[in-house]
C-alpha cells in the first residue's frame, strides 16, 4: 500500500564541505592530516572535488529526483585569517546556492561541520570564551551576503559529538567491545594519539590542541561554549535575515536497555540530549542525526549482538532506530524536525536500499501520528572522505572514481529519487 508524505516534504542528501570539496588548506583538519605521524589514514587532498564539480553534482541530484540538499559552508574559506572575509569564496557559495535554485532544490546550509579555521584553533578553539562571538560574526557575514538564498541554517553539526568521542576513547582504553563511532575515528592508532597531539601543538603553536579542535573530548566548559556559540549565531542570523529558519544538529542513538540497564540508558539520553534542551527552545527546527542504536546493560553499553549485521563503521545495521529517535525528540522538544543525516557505510548497495525503506517506514508512521518531520536528508550524497578513516568508508548514493572523479549514481540513489518523485513509500 502506497503511503504518501506531506506536500512539500524535503527528500535529499547531505555533504560536509571538508569531506567533499578538497584542498581546504586553511582548515585545522588539513594541518592535522598532513603532519608527520598523523592519526589520519590518508589526507583529504582534492577529496571528491565537489568545490569544482558542484554544478554537476547538484544536477545529478535533480536527475535522481531529489529536492533538498544539506551542505556546509567552510568557515576556513570564508574567513581564512581572523577578520579577513574572502569575497571570492562568498561568490563561490552564492553560485552553489543559485545552482540549487536553478534545479528547484531547497538548500539547508550548515555553518560549521567539524572543521575550523587554523587561526581559531590558535586562539583557543572550542575551549575559548571568545569563540561564540567569533562564530556569530562569521555567521552574520555569510547571512548578510547570502541569506536571501538560504531558507534553513544549521548552526553547528553534531554539537554533542565530543561526548560520544570521549566514551569511545574510554572504551578503547579498557579494550571493551562496543558500537563504533558515528564519525570516522581511527581507533587503530589510538595509542599514538598523545604523540600526534604533541606534534600538532607545535604545528599550530598551541599547547592544548587536544581539546581545542572540535572533534575532541570536551571539557564541561567547552560544551557550554559550543552551545553558547549556537545561541549567539542564532541571534546574529535572525538579525541579518529574519526569514531564515535556524536550528542545530545533534548525533543521537536509539538508547535502549536490557534488564538492569535502564538507568544507564536514561543517563546516556540525559547526557547526550536532554541536558541541551534549554539551548534549543527558541530554535525553528531540530536537525536529527541517527545511524544505529546503543543498548545498555547493568555495566554499561553492550557490544553489538553476536551475529548481527554490521556496517563498515562497526555499527549494528538498525534502521528502526530513526523512528524511535524522532519520537523521543518530539516528546522532549516540540519543534519541527528535519532528519539531517541517516544512512550506512556499506559496499552492498542492496542493504542501503533496504535501510532507506525501513527507516522511511518509521518516519512515515511518525508523520501519520502528527509529528512534524519536514524532510529526510540521507547521509551522504556521494562517497567521500570519512575523517580519520580516509576514503575507506562508503556512505554515498553516488559512487566516485577518485582517479578520474567520475560519478555514478548507485541504485540506492535512483531508489531514493523514485520515492521523492512520487512523494511516497
| Whether the Cβ atoms of residue 358 and residue 412 lie closer than 8 Å to each other | no
Across 180-201, average pLDDT: 61
| 46 beta partners | none
pLDDT in tens, 336-392: 999 999 999 999 999 999 999 999 999 999 999 999 999 999 999 999 999 999 999
pLDDT in tens, 24-46: 999 999 999 998 888 899 999 99
Across 195-209, average pLDDT: 66
**3-class DSSP assignment, residue 249:** strand
Structural domains in the chain (count): 1
Whether the pTM exceeds 0.85: the reply is yes
pLDDT in tens, 125-139: 999 999 999 999 999
Across 309-331, average pLDDT: 98
Three cell numbers, residue 238: 535572525
Asked whether residue 2 is assigned to any structural domain, the reply reads no
CATH number of domain containing 55: 3.20.20.80
d(Cα 94, Cα 87) in Å, to the nearest integer?
Answer: 10
Cα radius of gyration rounded to whole Å, the chain: 20
Asked whether residue 3 is assigned to any structural domain, the reply reads no
pLDDT computed for residue 167 by the predictor: 75
Asked whether residue 4 is assigned to any structural domain, the reply reads no
Asked whether residue 69 is assigned to any structural domain, the reply reads yes
pLDDT computed for residue 212 by the predictor: 86
Asked whether residue 241 is assigned to any structural domain, the reply reads yes
Asked whether residue 358 is assigned to any structural domain, the reply reads yes
Domain extent at residue 350: 10-422
Q: Kindly give, in sequence order, each residue whose CB lies less than 8 Å from that of residue 403, ignoring residues fewer than 6 positions away.
A: none
Running DSSP on this structure, what letter comes out for residue 39?
S
Query: Which residue is listed with cell 566514551?
Result: 167
pLDDT computed for residue 217 by the predictor: 83
Q: How many other C-beta atoms can be found within 10 angstroms of the C-beta atom of residue 281?
A: 9
Catalytic machinery residues: 158
Amino acid at each position: 500500500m502506497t503511503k504518501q508524505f506531506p506536500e512539500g516534504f524535503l527528500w535529499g542528501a547531505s555533504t560536509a564541505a571538508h569531506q567533499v570539496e578538497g584542498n581546504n588548506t586553511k582548515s585545522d583538519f588539513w594541518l592535522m592530516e598532513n603532519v608527520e605521524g598523523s592519526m589520519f589514514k590518508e589526507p583529504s587532498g582534492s577529496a571528491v572535488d565537489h568545490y569544482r564539480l558542484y554544478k554537476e553534482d547538484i544536477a545529478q541530484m535533480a536527475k535522481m529526483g531529489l529536492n533538498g540538499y544539506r551542505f556546509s559552508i567552510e568557515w576556513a574559506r570564508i574567513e581564512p585569517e581572523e577578520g579577513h572575509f574572502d569575497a571570492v569564496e562568498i561568490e563561490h557559495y552564492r553560485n552553489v546556492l543559485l545552482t540549487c535554485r536553478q534545479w528547484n532544490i531547497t538548500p539547508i546550509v550548515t555553518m560549521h561541520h567539524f572543521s575550523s579555521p587554523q587561526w581559531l584553533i590558535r586562539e583557543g578553539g572550542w575551549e575559548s570564551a571568545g569563540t561564540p562571538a567569533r562564530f556569530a560574526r562569521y555567521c552574520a557575514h555569510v547571512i548578510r551576503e547570502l541569506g536571501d538564498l538560504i531558507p534553513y541554517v544549521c548552526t553547528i553539526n553534531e554539537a554533542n559529538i565530543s561526548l560520544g568521542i570521549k566514551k569511545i576513547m574510554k572504551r578503547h582504553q579498557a579494550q571493551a567491545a562496543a558500537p563504533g563511532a558515528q564519525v570516522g575515528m581511527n581507533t587503530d592508532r589510538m595509542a599514538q594519539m598523545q604523540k600526534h597531539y604533541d606534534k600538532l601543538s607545535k604545528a599550530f603553536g598551541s599547547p592544548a590542541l587536544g581539546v581545542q579542535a572540535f572533534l575532541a573530548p570536551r571539557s564541561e566548559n567547552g560544551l557550554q561554549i559550543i552551545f553558547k556559540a549556537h545561541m549567539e549565531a542564532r541571534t546574529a542570523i535572525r538579525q541579518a535575515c529574519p526569514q531564515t529558519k535556524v536550528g542545530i544538529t545533534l548525533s543521537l542513538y536509539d538508547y535502549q536497555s536490557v534488564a538492569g540497564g535502564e538507568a544507564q540508558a536514561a543517563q546516556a539520553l540525559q547526557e547526550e540530549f536532554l541536558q541541551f534542551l534549554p539551548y534549543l527552545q527558541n530554535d525553528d527546527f531540530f536537525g536529527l542525526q541517527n545511524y544505529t542504536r546503543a543498548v545498555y546493560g547493568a555495566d554499561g553499553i553492550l557490544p553489538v549482538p553476536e551475529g548481527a549485521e554490521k556496517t563498515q563503521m562497526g555499527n549494528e545495521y538498525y534502521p528502526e532506530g530513526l523512528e524511535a529517535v524522532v519520537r523521543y525528540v518530539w516528546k522532549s522538544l516540540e519543534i519541527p524536525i528535519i532528519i539531517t543525516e541517516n544512512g550506512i557505510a556499506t559496499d552492498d548497495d542492496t542493504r542501503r536500499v533496504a535501510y532507506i525503506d525501513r527507516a522511511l517506514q518509521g518516519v512515515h508512521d511518525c508523520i501519520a501520528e502528527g509529528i512534524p518531520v519536514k524532510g529526510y536528508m540521507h547521509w551522504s550524497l556521494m562517497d567521500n572522505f570519512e575523517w580519520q578513516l580516509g576514503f575507506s568508508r562508503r556512505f554515498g548514493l553516488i559512487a566516485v572514481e577518485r582517479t578520474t572523479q567520475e560519478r555514478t549514481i548507485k541504485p540506492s540513489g535512483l531508489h531514493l529519487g523514485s520515492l521523492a518523485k512520487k512523494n511516497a513509500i
